[in-house]
């Protein structure tokens, strides 16, 4: 198997290392040529990806944000032949999938929207790991959801990097769900840490929940801003919903209404139980 990687940051670098660890031949490129050179020196890639060798790949992963991902496809689509499979790894899907499917139809290659559901609070090749995706889910958006042959082919390629469950979905459903499960966590953590209490000496009086909750406040502002703006309708809905729910807790405190507070807490606990049952079924 020969794999191409566009973008050798945390995700692209980890993909390169995972496929190398699985015995695949890997070629890659990064906008920073020094990163490409370092990845080759670190034996994460066998050689740089060029116009001459990209069509030798069984699959090309585009591991850069949506706008540059679309720009890369627009530039390179005419160079790809019919056997090429291109999978993006962007955190939102509607914008990049619309362009990817259109370009694939125009130029005859195969495009699949993808999202590896794993990461760290730190970015860059230096933090990449061969085992980052071990048993992690991978969401895929296929133009023809009934194309079982393509889905099985994609599953085989993706699982070689260590991924666990492959989750087919539409671009619309992906972006709606990811606004709640991922983007909201980053927004809330980033806002939560702005409390003046966080700067007090006594903040060390905390348990694991504080560390877990604030972990993703350390984020790449440029990348997440682009993803938030791409998915602004879904993310705004989730933020507004949370604000509405938090007001209920605030009002219970203001009114010294212990019964209402208990009711709210029980509602949240019961919703968590319901969610866990659905996830395990």
Condensed to tens digits (0 to 9), the pLDDT of residues 65-82 reads: 999 999 999 999 999 988
Local confidence pLDDT in tens for the 281 residues of the chain: 999 999 999 999 999 999 999 999 999 999 999 999 999 999 999 999 999 999 999 999 999 999 999 999 999 999 998 888 999 999 999 999 999 999 999 999 999 999 999 887 788 999 999 999 999 999 999 998 888 999 999 999 999 999 999 999 999 999 999 999 999 999 999 999 999 988 886 666 777 788 888 888 888 898 899 999 999 999 999 999 999 999 999 999 999 999 999 999 999 999 999 999 887 76
Read off the DSSP letter of residue 217: G
Give the residue carrying structure tokens 């953590």.
189
Smallest CA-to-CA distance from 171 within 75, 101, 84 is with 101
Evaluate whether 30 touches 12 at the Cβ level (below 8 Å): yes
Strand 166-168 with 138-141, pairing: parallel
**Region of residue 43 (left: phi > 0; alpha: psi -120 to 50; beta: else):** left
- For Cα atoms 81, 13, 178, give the angle at the middle one, nearest 5 degrees: 85
The span from the CA of 85 to the CA of 243, in Å, is 42
Say how many C-beta atoms besides its own lie within 10 A of residue 194's C-beta. Answer: 10
Contact 79, 51 (CB under 8 A): yes
Is residue 52 within 8 Å of 139, Cβ to Cβ? no
CA-nearest of 53, 54, 73, 55 to 64 is 73
Distance (Å, whole) CA 105 – CA 14: 30
Model pTM score: 0.89
């Amino acid at each position: 198997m020969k794999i191409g990687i566009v973008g050798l940051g945390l995700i692209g670098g980890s993909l390169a290392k995972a496929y190398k660890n699985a015995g695949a031949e890997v070629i890659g490129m990064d906008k920073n040529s020094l990163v490409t050179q370092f990845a080759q020196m670190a034996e994460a890639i066998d050689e740089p990806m060029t116009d001459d060798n990209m069509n030798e790949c069984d699959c090309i992963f585009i591991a850069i944000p949506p706008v540059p991902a679309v720009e890369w496809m627009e530039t390179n689509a005419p160079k790809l032949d019919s056997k090429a499979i291109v999978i993006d790894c962007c955190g939102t899907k509607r914008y990049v999938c619309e362009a990817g499917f259109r370009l694939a139809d125009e130029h005859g290659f195969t495009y699949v929207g993808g999202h590896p559901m794993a990461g760290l609070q730190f970015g860059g090749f230096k933090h990449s790991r061969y085992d980052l995706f071990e048993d992690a889910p991978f969401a895929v958006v296929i133009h023809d959801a009934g194309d079982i042959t393509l889905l099985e082919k994609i599953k085989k390629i993706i699982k070689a990097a260590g991924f666990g469950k492959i989750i087919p979905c539409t671009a619309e459903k992906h972006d709606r769900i990811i606004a709640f499960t991922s983007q909201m966590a980053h927004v809330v953590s980033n806002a939560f840490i702005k409390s003046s209490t966080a700067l007090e000496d006594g903040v060390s009086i905390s348990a694991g929940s504080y560390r877990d909750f604030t972990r993703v406040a350390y984020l790449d502002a440029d990348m997440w801003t682009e993803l938030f703006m791409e998915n602004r309708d879904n993310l705004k809905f989730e933020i507004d919903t949370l604000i509405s729910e938090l007001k209920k807790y605030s009002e219970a405190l203001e009114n010294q209404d212990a019964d209402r507070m208990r009711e709210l807490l029980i509602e949240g606990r019961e919703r968590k139980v319901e969610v866990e049952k659905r996830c395990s079924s």
